[in-house]
């Protein structure tokens, strides 16, 4: 793996317009268009970033299809995860310095563009060893996995954790962070034999193809009937409903998504009192807006393990901007192992 490409010249002047990825009506990948849009200007507390690339997130597929809760009406520049170089500082900003290669996340979208502005305290220096594609895939999965495991899930060293869709962006980050933070046993589910193999390589102690095997049975067998201490769940529907049968009495479950597009109506709230299970929901964008002080410790922990080389984002495939429809279709196909990344040609 190679590290960072050379930085562009400091203080590179931004043009007036750029390419930004938008859609003007909801639909399939065919509605995506690269429009000419104004280059944003950094306000107080913000930095201007020249993009190296961005990740395609499951949330992007849902926004494009018109099913993401609270998404703005089109058109708007899409994208949440970013990697790029700081090229100008808004008033009051001292760090990160111009020329710093950064990664981060924009809760309100806008990273699928050649230039973007971000809050200075929401972009982070990229460790030198990481490629641009790895950096572009870092933001939301790692910050979400940390918050789900540690802040919401109160993970303790020596515990047993169940991670679903563990070959995906969020899941692969969660498996790696579990091990880095001292979980004793990670049970991971994924949707094909190839994914199961990769998840085991990432450090999962037990990896199960949940399209072929009953993950509740596996959890019961592995834990001697007790159940896991913590479940982090991003699939929804039956996987979420059946995950309650995997949590030990007085254990924890954190829900961060519903990739299956399905919800569950099976859960009786009274079960919480009967089992003593703590259930939480986490959405990174809402926390950045409403609980930023709770996100900062996640970033600090993630940076520590990244710098130590203990964890590394997993890249499934890198696409060119012109291949954006293929990139969306690839992620939607459920074939991706790791992150789906788009990189801009660098000067
Ligand atoms: N709350 C937050 O702040 C936050 C932040 C980041 C991500 N998320 C959520 O985490 C989830 C994962 O996001 P991601 O971008 O990392 O995507 P991803 O996990 O790389 O891709 C989604 C995966 O979901 C699994 N899946 C299970 N049932 C499915 C079905 N019926 N149809 C399609 N896929 C199915 C597939 O893996 P298998 O084939 O292995 O089942 C698929 O590869 C999403 O729900 C996303 O919204 C939430």
Q: What is the mean pLDDT of each run of 10 residues along the chain (347 residues)?
A: 41 86 98 98 97 97 94 97 97 97 94 97 94 97 98 98 98 98 98 98 97 98 98 96 96 96 79 94 92 92 95 97 98 97 93
* Residue 290 is assigned to a structural domain of this protein: no
133 and 162 share a domain? no
* Residue 40 is assigned to a structural domain of this protein: yes
Q: What is the pLDDT of residue 6?
A: 39
282 lines ligand 1 (CB under 6 A): yes
214 and 258 share a domain? yes
Rounded Cα–Cα distance for residues 104 and 123 (Å): 5
Rounded Cα–Cα distance for residues 59 and 54 (Å): 13
* Residue 301 is assigned to a structural domain of this protein: no
* Residue 134 is assigned to a structural domain of this protein: yes
Rounded Cα–Cα distance for residues 174 and 103 (Å): 18
- Of 234, 219, 176, the residue nearest 200 (C-alpha): 176
The residues with which 84 forms a beta bridge, in sequence order, are 51, 102
* Residue 6 is assigned to a structural domain of this protein: no
Rounded Cα–Cα distance for residues 256 and 215 (Å): 19
Q: What is the pLDDT of residue 13?
A: 80
**Angle, alpha carbons 1-323-257 (nearest 5°):** 75
119 and 216 share a domain? no
110 and 45 share a domain? yes
What atom in ligand 1 is closest to the CA of residue 336?
A: 43
- Probe ligand 1: pick from 165, 298, 315, 336, max atoms within 8 Å of CB? 165
146 and 281 share a domain? yes
The residues with which 186 forms a beta bridge, in sequence order, are 161
Rounded Cα–Cα distance for residues 99 and 9 (Å): 7
150 and 21 share a domain? no
* Residue 76 is assigned to a structural domain of this protein: yes
Domain count, the chain: 2
Please identify, among 241, 269, 285, the residue that sits at the C-terminal boundary of a domain: 285
101 and 177 share a domain? no
- Of 74, 53, 55, 54, the residue nearest 64 (C-alpha): 74
* Residue 307 is assigned to a structural domain of this protein: no
Please identify, among 265, 285, 305, the residue that sits at the C-terminal boundary of a domain: 285
In the block, which residue shows the tokens 């494009």?
Answer: 64
Q: What is the pLDDT of residue 347?
A: 79
**Angle, alpha carbons 47-48-50 (nearest 5°):** 135
134 and 154 share a domain? no
145 and 272 share a domain? yes
59 lines ligand 1 (CB under 6 A): yes
Rounded Cα–Cα distance for residues 339 and 231 (Å): 22
- The enclosing domain of 211 has a CATH number of 3.40.50.720
* Cis geometry, peptide bond prior to residue 146 (ω within 30 degrees of 0): no
- The enclosing domain of 56 has a CATH number of 3.90.180.10
Centre of ligand 1 from the C-alpha of residue 54, in Å: 17
Range of the domain at 47: 17-138+313-343
Tokens of 155: 């993970």
185 and 279 share a domain? yes
* Residue 3 is assigned to a structural domain of this protein: no
Rounded Cα–Cα distance for residues 224 and 120 (Å): 48
Rounded Cα–Cα distance for residues 346 and 322 (Å): 15
Q: Is the pTM of this model over 0.85?
A: yes
- Probe ligand 1: pick from 334, 337, 339, 342, max atoms within 8 Å of CB? 334
Tokens of 332: 């939607």
Rounded Cα–Cα distance for residues 79 and 261 (Å): 20
The residues with which 55 forms a beta bridge, in sequence order, are 341
124 and 148 share a domain? no
* Cis geometry, peptide bond prior to residue 148 (ω within 30 degrees of 0): no
164 and 224 share a domain? yes
């Amino acid at each position: 793996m190679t590290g960072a490409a050379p930085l562009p010249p400091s203080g590179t002047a931004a043009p007036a317009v750029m390419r930004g990825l938008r859609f003007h009506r909801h639909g399939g990948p065919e509605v995506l268009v690269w429009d000419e849009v104004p280059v944003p200007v950094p306000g107080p507390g913000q930095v201007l970033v020249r993009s190296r690339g961005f990740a395609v997130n499951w949330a992007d597929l849902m926004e494009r299809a018109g099913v993401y809760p609270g998404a703005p009406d089109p058109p708007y520049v899409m994208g949440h995860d970013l990697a790029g170089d700081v090229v100008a500082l808004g008033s009051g900003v001292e760090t990160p310095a111009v020329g710093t290669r950064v990664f981060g996340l924009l809760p309100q979208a806008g990273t699928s563009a050649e230039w973007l502005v971000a809050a200075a305290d929401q972009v982070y220096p990229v460790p030198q060893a990481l490629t641009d594609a790895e950096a572009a895939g870092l933001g939301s999965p790692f910050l979400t996995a940390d918050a789900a495991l540690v802040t919401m899930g109160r993970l303790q060293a020596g515990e047993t954790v169940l991670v679903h869709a563990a070959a995906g962006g969020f899941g692969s980050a969660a498996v790696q962070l579990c091990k880095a933070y001292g979980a004793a046993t990670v049970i991971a589910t994924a949707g094909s034999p190839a994914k199961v193999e990769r998840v085991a390589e990432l450090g999962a102690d037990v990896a199960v193809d949940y399209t072929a095997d009953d993950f509740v049975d596996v959890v019961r067998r592995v834990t001697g009937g007790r159940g896991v201490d913590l479940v982090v769940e991003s699939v929804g529907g039956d996987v979420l409903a059946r995950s309650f049968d995997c949590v030990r009495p007085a254990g924890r479950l954190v829900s961060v998504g519903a990739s299956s597009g399905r919800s569950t109506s099976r859960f009786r709230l009274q079960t919480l009192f009967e089992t003593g299970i703590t259930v939480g929901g986490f959405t990174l964008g809402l926390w950045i807006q409403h609980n930023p002080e709770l996100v900062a410790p996640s970033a600090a922990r993630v940076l520590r393990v990244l710098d130590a080389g203990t964890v590394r984002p997993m890249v499934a495939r890198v696409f060119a901007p012109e291949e954006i429809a293929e990139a969306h279709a690839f992620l939607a196909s459920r074939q991706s192992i790791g992150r789906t990344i788009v990189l801009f040609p660098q000067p």
